Structure 1
């Protein structure tokens, strides 16, 4: 999965992006994307999976914005809460896409 396009902040230090996260839930980063746009793209990806890969196990490699989108779409987590929480690394995350999923981007 493609990471959020941070536009003018691409390749900036992570703390600079983190300090502005909450302002870019719906408003795109300058010359980039919003986190809501990442949610929409991830939702489209999940719809493709539900259609063509139902019942299969896949490996998805992604960045934090995509993980937040998966947490919103598949677990009902709040995007606002996820963006405010400190990052907690782990060796991997597991998600289950319900059969016939046709969800919409979370909040």
Structure 2
């Protein structure tokens, strides 16, 4: 069998609106972001999923809580679904971050991590997902770097192509995780 994954990024934050790279800071949804999160709950009914996993960063948790009314019994926070840690450059303008992405595929941000490290922790999460949720449909709410990791790991796209492309928001992405993934 397999795990069917529906992936959504956290909703719009005040940092997104200000053009700042939040990294591992908690972040908070903007008023528009809270509206988009409520729309997520209508667009993706909770009954469609066996479980919801989200990053443990506040903006992802707030997205899930706003979308699903705090559905705490089933929503699971996982630190492996965190955004890339920009270290000393956390809070930098997003335009500056975009210019550095390719150089940070394997070389960590100063005091932070590389995109390859995000891929590694996302892969670890996927191994656990394959073992525990075979044959089920799950929702993941996380960050752009984790979506790149999923595209790299499950669709074979290169990290260089992913980090060079502009972020194209859409109403979710779908992935299929084979039950024997990376055993």
Structure 2 match to 1:84: 164
Structure 1 match to 2:181: 101
Structure 1 match to 2:101: 21
Distance 1:11 1:54 in 2: 38
Q: Which has the larger radius of gyration?
A: 2
**8 Å contact 2:86–2:110 — kept in the other structure?**
yes
Provide the aligned C-alpha RMSD in A.
1.1
Distance 1:97 1:13 in 2: 34
**8 Å contact 2:131–2:179 — kept in the other structure?**
no
**8 Å contact 2:122–2:149 — kept in the other structure?**
yes
Whose strand fraction is larger, Structure 1's or Structure 2's? Answer: 2
Deviations 1:15-69 (Å, cap 9, x if unpaired)? 1211100110100000000000001000000000011111111110111100000
Distance 1:56 1:11 in 2: 37
Q: Where do 5+ consecutive residues of structure 1 fail to align?
A: none
Deviations 1:80-101 (Å, cap 9, x if unpaired)? 1111112211111111111211
User: Number of paired residues?
Assistant: 103
After TM superposition, give the deviation of residue 11 of structure 1 in Å. 2.1
Distance 1:62 1:34 in 2: 17
Structure 1 match to 2:71: none
Q: Where do 5+ consecutive residues of structure 2 fail to align?
A: 1-80
Q: TM-score, normalised by structure 1?
A: 0.91
Distance 2:138 2:122 in 1: 15
After TM superposition, the runs of 4+ consecutive aligned structure 1 residues lying more than 2 A away are none
Structure 2 match to 1:61: 141
